[in-house]
Amino acid sequence: MLILGIETSCDETACAIVRSCDNRFEVLSSVVSSQIKFHAPWGGVVPNLAARKHLENILPVIQKALKKARIAPKDIDLVAVTQGPGLIPALLVGTQTAKAFSYLWQKPLLGIHHIEGHIYANFIGGKIDVSSKIQSPKSKQKTTLNFPLLCLVVSGGHTQLVFMKKHLHYEIIGQTVDDAAGEAFDKVARILGLGYPGGPAIAQKAKLKMKNEKFKIKLPRPMLNSNNFNFSFSGLKTAVLYETQKHPQLLKNNEYIATISREFQQSVVEVLVKKTIAAAKKYGVKTIMLAGGVSANKELRRQLTQSVRKNFSDIACQMPRAEYSLDNAVMIALAAFFRWEKNKEKKTFQNKIKNNWKNFDTQSNLTLK
Ligand code: KG4
Ligand code: ZN
C-alpha cells in the first residue's frame, strides 16, 4: 500500500511517500522544506507568512517527493494530511491541496491529528503488528513496544502525558496548564537573545563547557511535587526574565548565558522526567515513549533513558529518530496507515474517506481521540 502524506501545520512544508509491505513500513521519500529563516527575524512563527511560504512550497515539495520515490500519482492508494491542530492559515494550505489531489486523482483522503503523527513517528521503520506491538526500528535492539504505553508529548504547542491501552487509543492523564515545553524554550531563548527556534539554541548554549562555574543560578522546578501529572512552564519563563532583569549587562556574557541556559534546560528536563516516571509507575505501563519537537533535545533523551533504566527493569524506552522528532510528513502517513488498517473493512469508513475531499473540516484545535 502506498500512502502520500502532507504536513503544513506550522513552519515546515512536508511531503512523504511511504509503503507498507510484508508488515514493514518503508519510507520511499521524505521532503521537508523549513521556513525557519523567514520567521527568525520576527522571533516566532508569523501565521500569514507561514501560509504564503506553504503556498509557494507545497507543489514543488510534493513533486520532489513523488520524483524521489519514483511514484506516479496513479499508484498512490491513500492521501493523508494533517487536519489539525496548528495555525489555521498554514493548515489550510495542506488540507486544500490534499483535497484537490484526492478529488483529481480519485484517491481516498484521511485527516490526521498532528500529535497522533508525532506519537507514530516512534514506529517509523519498525515491524508492524497493528493489533498489539512493534519491533523497534533498530532491529538489533529487539525492543518490543508492548502496550499499555505512556507517551510524553513535548512540542511547541503541546505538553501532554498520553496513556495508550492499544493503538489509536488515547487518554490524556496530564498536560501543561499554561505554556508548552517547546514554547518555554522559544520564549526563554528570546529573553536571552538567542533567536528562533529557541530549543536548539538553548541546548547548544547549555553544552558549553566551563572550567569553573562563575555564576550560581537556581531556577524553580514548577509543579515537580504536585499531586498530579500536569505541568506549568510559564512561571519558569518569568523566573528567567526576573533573573536577567537583575543584571541586564550580563546578557552579553557568554558564560552567564550558558549557565542560565543549562539551568533552564535542567529544570524542564527534571520535571518532565520525574512526572513521566511517576505516571509510568501509577499506570503500570510496559513502554515509555517520547514524541514532539522537544524530543530532539539530547539531555531529555539521555536523562529519560537513564531514569527508566534506574527505576524499571522491564520497561522499554522508545524515542523517534532525530530526523523524525521535528515536523515531517512520514509520521502523518504512518498514523494514517494504522487508522486505515484498523478501519478498512468498515463500509462507513471507506465511504467517509472517499468523500473527505468535500467533507472534512480543517481544525486549529482538533482534539486527540
Ligand atoms: O513538534 P514541533 O516541530 O512543532 C510543533 O508541533 O510545535 O516542535 C517545535 C518545538 C519548538 O518549540 C522548538 O524550540 C522545540 O520543538 N525544539 C527543541 C529542540 N529542537 C526543537 N526544544 C529543545 N531542544 C531541542 N533540541
Ligand atoms: Zn509538531
pLDDT at 145: 80
Cα dist from 62 to 13, 56, 67, 116, 303, whole Å: 9, 12, 9, 22, 38
Centre of ligand 1 to C-alpha 254, Å, is: 23
Q: Which ligand is nearest to the CA of 302?
A: 1
Compute the average pLDDT of residues 34-58.
95
Centre of ligand 1 to C-alpha 326, Å, is: 7
Alpha helices in 45-159 (DSSP H): 47-69, 88-105, 114-120
Centre of ligand 2 to C-alpha 323, Å, is: 12
Whether the pLDDT of residue 224 is over 80: the answer is yes
Ligand 1 neighbour 89 (Cβ under 6 A): no
Whether the pLDDT of residue 24 is over 90: the answer is no
- pLDDT above 70 as % of the chain: 95
Centre of ligand 1 to C-alpha 71, Å, is: 31
pLDDT at 212: 78
Whether the pLDDT of residue 136 is over 90: the answer is no
Residue 77 near residue 3 (C-beta atoms within 8 A): yes
Closest approach atom of ligand 1 to CA 180: 12
Ligand 1 neighbour 108 (Cβ under 6 A): no
Ligand 1 neighbour 174 (Cβ under 6 A): no
pLDDT at 125: 76
Compute the average pLDDT of residues 90-106.
98
Centre of ligand 1 to C-alpha 112, Å, is: 20
Compute the average pLDDT of residues 45-58.
97
Poorest-pLDDT segment among 22-31, 159-168, 274-283: 22-31
List the end-to-end C-alpha distance of the chain, in Å, as a whole number.
Answer: 25
* Residue located nearest, by CA, to atom 22 of ligand 1: 199
Ligand 1 neighbour 203 (Cβ under 6 A): yes
Whether the pLDDT of residue 37 is over 90: the answer is yes
Residue 322 near residue 152 (C-beta atoms within 8 A): no
pLDDT at 43: 86
Contacts of 219 (CB under 8 A, 6+ apart): 236, 239, 240, 243, 260, 263, 264, 267
Residue found by looking up cell 462507513 in the block: 348
pLDDT at 249: 96
pLDDT at 285: 97
pLDDT at 22: 73
pLDDT at 233: 98
Ligand 1 neighbour 7 (Cβ under 6 A): no
* Residue located nearest, by CA, to atom 14 of ligand 1: 199
Average pLDDT, the chain: 94
Q: What's the pLDDT tens digit per position in 108-132?
A: 999 999 999 999 999 987 766 655 5
Q: What's the pLDDT tens digit per position in 281-340?
A: 999 999 999 999 999 999 999 999 999 999 999 999 999 999 999 999 999 999 999 999
Q: CA–CA separation, 50 vs 32, rounded Å?
A: 14
Cα dist from 225 to 132, 230, 256, whole Å: 34, 10, 28
pLDDT at 25: 84
- pLDDT above 90 as % of the chain: 88
Q: What's the pLDDT tens digit per position in 138-197?
A: 545 445 688 999 999 999 999 999 999 999 999 999 999 999 999 999 999 999 999 999
Centre of ligand 1 to C-alpha 108, Å, is: 31
Amino acid type, 180: A
Q: CA–CA separation, 257 vs 192, rounded Å?
A: 7
Ligand 1 neighbour 84 (Cβ under 6 A): no
* Residue located nearest, by CA, to atom 2 of ligand 1: 293
Centre of ligand 2 to C-alpha 181, Å, is: 12
Pairing of strands 24-34, 149-154: unpaired
pLDDT at 245: 97
The pocket of ion ligand 2, defined by CB under 5 A, consists of: 155, 327
Mutation to probe ligand 1, out of 160, 185, 190 (largest number of atoms < 8 A from CB)? 185
pLDDT at 21: 79
Residue 260 DSSP SS3: helix
pLDDT at 186: 96
Ligand 1 neighbour 116 (Cβ under 6 A): no
Centre of ligand 2 to C-alpha 37, Å, is: 18
DSSP character at residue 366: P
Kindly indicate the confidence band of residue 211, based on its pLDDT and cuts at 50, 70 and 90.
Answer: confident
Query: Of 368, 316, 322, whose CA–CA distance to 82 is shortest?
Result: 368
Amino acid type, 170: Y
Ligand 1 neighbour 182 (Cβ under 6 A): yes
Closest approach atom of ligand 1 to CA 118: 1
Amino acid type, 251: L
Render the burial of 90-101: b for 16+ CB within 10 Å, e for the rest.
Answer: bbbbbbbbbbeb
